């Protein structure tokens, strides 16, 4: 708390000074200019307007990448950063007060109301927002150019990484994309310095500590919690990794895929090896059994991007949730425009306090993209559900909740559901069909888990100074090998900056939420299936059309961030602890299959 020495001259208009006054006046705490409740009310009103401006500027920047929109976005973010810094400084006056729980929570959330805290110095604040804008611009406009007339955009490269099967061609695409992040390296180093300085103004040692503080537990406790959850699911990942490596060794040769080491990072069907679902055609356990070839249906029936989104909307509506507003369909970006550069990375926007919902995507006719749409609408429905909360409480119970909502719905996209809406034929549920479906899902959800954890583990180490700038790339690949069991097939040096080739790093988006979401989605799913009265194995449950489960689900969404996540979790699941055991239960059939397949193999790396 700031202290203020008040001398006689400061009180001359109130009382006369005594000739017997002591040599030093007693220290007196500065009284806040307004009551805590009035302060929070004012902050909510100001935040409402700032969020409207910043959201609009951010949307234009993401959907129209030119120099002018960079200026507008940078200025809006700079204005917010200035307001946030000044307002947080005012909030410090209430630190030692005994406040009502709701008021204390609002003030604490205010301090965490930015993922990119700015330094107090105006010039540094401007520099930080400009760097952040420049890095996302570099990423959004990034292309791999084989020649002046042969350039491939990021989304096109991502699709090619899914489709191409030639080892050397994949390596060319993989290394080509990583050229776009090299110019970010110096900018990122400076961004770390400035963001850490901003975090220090809020009382945190570094930005990583500040990010971990936003989970209703201490940063150290949260780190322990993520390690506990990873330990719960690691045995399943290890079995999956062993089997995938064995199969890829048969396809590409064990000289290229050694059976006692990490898997080459470029052959897993994804630009970042974060999800391996596009390898399913190579790994399908029982070929042709209950084929879930949704891609063919989408192409054959020529689903438009809007029709794919309508399919997702219909699921949420079947749970008793409202339809999306007309403005959603008028203002969203569903396809990549031909006349300008945009950020195609899928995102959901709750502009104007959740009254203006939109998604931003460049949708392709694939099952993977369809699931992304179902996921993104989960964000939109969450944003719409808590829009009546004060701005300081307009957020997920924690970041993982926001990501888990749509992921939970994706778990209900069972073969029975897909058949019911005409995206596949009648799908049998014999044991082989179950294994096929679980393999397809595991290549997505389970393969993702270590990647979801390590992105922030790396950044936490960078922010804390445990990784020096001269070791950025070295530490990146050490961590990816340790957690994922993958490695680059060609030498990577400190002339490269491979972390920047993943959007969330230059985009300053904390990633642990995605790891937690993959845990929570199964925990939520199990609870919702119980509410829906499902009997039988968990993997066969779809809550489609069940308004009882939907009402409980939506009630959780409406609370937003108004209470600790443990309270919110308990209302839906009956427990106050995140629990990955639902994942193990869900994938029990696949785990048994993998153990059989891996008999005689050398697992690990």
The torsion angle over the Cα atoms of residues 146, 151, 155 and 160, rounded to 10 degrees, is -40
What whole-number percentage of the chain has pLDDT above 70? 94
From 239, 275, 403, 457, active-site residue: 403
Say what the pLDDT of residue 22 is.
36
From 374, 483, 514, 554, active-site residue: 514
Say what the pLDDT of residue 291 is.
67
- Contact residues for 290 (Cβ-Cβ < 8 A; gap 6+): 415, 427, 428, 429, 430, 432, 433, 436, 437
Contact (CB, 8 A) for 553 and 443? no
Residue 379 appears among annotated catalytic residues? yes
Say what the pLDDT of residue 561 is.
96
From 346, 464, 540, 588, active-site residue: 346
Say what the pLDDT of residue 5 is.
33
Q: At CB < 8 A and 24+ separation, what contacts does 113-116 make? A: 113/47, 113/84, 113/392, 114/80, 114/81, 114/84, 115/211, 115/508, 115/509, 115/510, 116/77, 116/81, 116/195, 116/198, 116/207, 116/508
What whole-number percentage of the chain has pLDDT above 90? 83
In the chain, % helix, strand, coil (3-state, to 5) comes to 60, 5, 35
Residue located via tokens 């919702």: 528
Which helix (H) or strand (E) segment holds residue 100: the answer is: none
Q: Is the pLDDT of residue 12 over 50?
A: no
Residue 376 appears among annotated catalytic residues? yes
Q: Is the pLDDT of residue 15 over 70?
A: no
Say what the pLDDT of residue 18 is.
32
Say what the pLDDT of residue 368 is.
86
Q: Is the pLDDT of residue 188 over 60?
A: yes
Q: What is the mean pLDDT of residues 320-336?
A: 97
pLDDT digits (tens, 9 = 90+) for 18-58: 333 333 334 334 567 799 999 999 999 999 999 999 999 99
Q: What is the mean pLDDT of residues 490-516?
A: 95
Residue 403 appears among annotated catalytic residues? yes
Say what the pLDDT of residue 30 is.
57
CA pair distance 555, 570, nearest whole angstrom: 13
From 286, 341, 504, 558, active-site residue: 504
pLDDT digits (tens, 9 = 90+) for 397-426: 998 999 999 999 999 999 889 999 999 887
Q: What is the mean pLDDT of residues 218-236?
A: 95
Which helix (H) or strand (E) segment holds residue 20: the answer is: none
Q: Is the pLDDT of residue 327 over 50?
A: yes
Q: What is the mean pLDDT of residues 196-215?
A: 92
Contact (CB, 8 A) for 79 and 50? yes
Residue 252 appears among annotated catalytic residues? no
Q: What is the mean pLDDT of residues 167-187?
A: 97
- Contact residues for 299 (Cβ-Cβ < 8 A; gap 6+): 365
From 78, 275, 376, 457, active-site residue: 376
Q: What is the mean pLDDT of residues 147-161?
A: 93
From 375, 402, 525, 534, active-site residue: 375
Say what the pLDDT of residue 502 is.
97
CA pair distance 485, 490, nearest whole angstrom: 16
CA pair distance 79, 599, nearest whole angstrom: 60
Contact (CB, 8 A) for 463 and 206? yes
Q: Classify 595 as helix, strand or coil.
A: helix
Say what the pLDDT of residue 32 is.
78
CA pair distance 277, 348, nearest whole angstrom: 23
Say what the pLDDT of residue 39 is.
97
Which of the pair, 114 or 428, is modelled with greater confidence?
Answer: 114
Contact (CB, 8 A) for 374 and 409? yes
From 84, 243, 266, 345, active-site residue: 345
Q: How confident is the model at residue 3 (pLDDT cuts 50, 70, 90)?
A: very low
CA pair distance 532, 541, nearest whole angstrom: 9
Residue 402 appears among annotated catalytic residues? no
pLDDT digits (tens, 9 = 90+) for 58-98: 999 999 999 999 999 999 988 998 998 899 889 989 988 99
From 379, 402, 525, 539, active-site residue: 379
Structure tokens, 454: 């390590």
Q: What is the mean pLDDT of residues 180-190?
A: 97
């Amino acid at each position: 708390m700031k202290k203020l020495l008040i001398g006689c001259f400061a009180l001359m208009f109130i009382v006369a000074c005594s000739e017997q006054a002591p040599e030093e006046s007693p220290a007196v705490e500065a009284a806040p200019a307004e009551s805590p409740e009035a302060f929070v009310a004012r902050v909510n009103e100001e935040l409402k307007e700032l969020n409207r401006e910043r959201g609009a500027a951010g949307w234009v920047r993401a959907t129209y990448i030119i120099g002018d929109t960079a200026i507008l976005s940078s200025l809006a973010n700079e204005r917010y950063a200035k307001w946030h810094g000044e307002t947080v400084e005012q909030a410090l006056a209430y630190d030692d007060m005994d406040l009502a729980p709701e008021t204390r929570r609002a003030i604490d959330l205010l301090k965490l109301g930015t993922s990119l805290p700015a330094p107090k110095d105006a010039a540094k604040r401007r520099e930080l927002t400009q760097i952040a804008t420049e890095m996302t611009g570099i990423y959004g406009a990034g292309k791999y150019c084989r020649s002046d007339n042969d350039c491939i955009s990021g989304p096109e490269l991502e699709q090619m990484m899914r489709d191409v099967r030639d080892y050397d061609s994949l390596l060319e695409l993989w290394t080509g994309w990583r050229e776009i992040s090299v110019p970010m390296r110096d900018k990122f180093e400076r961004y770390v310095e400035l963001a850490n300085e901003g975090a220090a103004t809020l009382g945190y040692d570094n930005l990583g500590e500040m990010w971990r503080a936003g989970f209703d537990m201490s940063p150290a406790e949260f780190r322990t919690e993520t390690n506990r959850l990873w330990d719960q699911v690691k045995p399943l990942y290890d079995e999956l990794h062993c089997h995938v490596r064995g199969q890829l060794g048969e396809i590409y040769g064990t000289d290229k895929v050694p059976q006692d080491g990490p898997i080459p990072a470029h052959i897993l069907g994804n630009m970042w090896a974060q999800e391996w679902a596009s390898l399913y055609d190579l790994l399908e356990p029982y070929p042709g059994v209950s084929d879930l070839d949704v891609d063919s249906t989408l192409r054959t029936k020529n689903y438009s991007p809007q029709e794919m989104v309508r399919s997702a909307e219909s699921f949420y509506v079947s749970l008793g949730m409202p339809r999306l507003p007309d403005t959603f369909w008028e203002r969203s970006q569903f396809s990549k425009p031909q006349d300008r550069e945009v950020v195609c990375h899928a995102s959901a926007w709750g502009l104007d306090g959740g009254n203006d919902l939109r998604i931003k995507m460049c949708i392709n006719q694939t099952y993977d993209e369809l699931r992304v749409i179902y996921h993104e609408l989960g964000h939109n429905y969450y944003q719409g559900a808590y829009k009546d909360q004060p701005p300081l409480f307009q957020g997920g119970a924690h970041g993982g909740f926001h990501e888990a909502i749509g992921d939970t719905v994706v778990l209900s996209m069972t073969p029975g559901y897909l058949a019911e809406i005409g995206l596949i034929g009648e799908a049998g549920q014999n044991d082989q069909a179950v294994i096929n479906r679980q393999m397809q899902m595991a290549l997505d959800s389970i393969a993702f888990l270590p990647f979801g954890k390590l992105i922030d583990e790396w950044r936490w180490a960078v922010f804390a100074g445990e990784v020096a700038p001269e070791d950025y790339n070295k530490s990146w690949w050490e961590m990816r090998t340790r957690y994922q069991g993958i490695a680059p097939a060609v030498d990577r040096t400190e002339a490269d900056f491979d972390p920047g080739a993943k959007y969330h790093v230059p985009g300053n988006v904390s990633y642990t939420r995605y790891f937690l979401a993959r845990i929570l989605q199964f925990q939520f799913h199990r609870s919702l299936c119980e509410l829906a009265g499902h009997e039988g194995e968990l993997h066969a449950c779809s809550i489609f059309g069940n308004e009882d489960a939907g009402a409980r689900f939506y009630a959780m969404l409406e609370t937003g961030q108004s209470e600790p996540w443990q309270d919110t979790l308990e209302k839906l699941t009956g427990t106050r602890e995140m629990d990955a055991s639902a994942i193990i239960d869900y994938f029990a059939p696949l785990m048994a299959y993998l153990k059989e397949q891996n008999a005689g193999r050398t697992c690990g790396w």
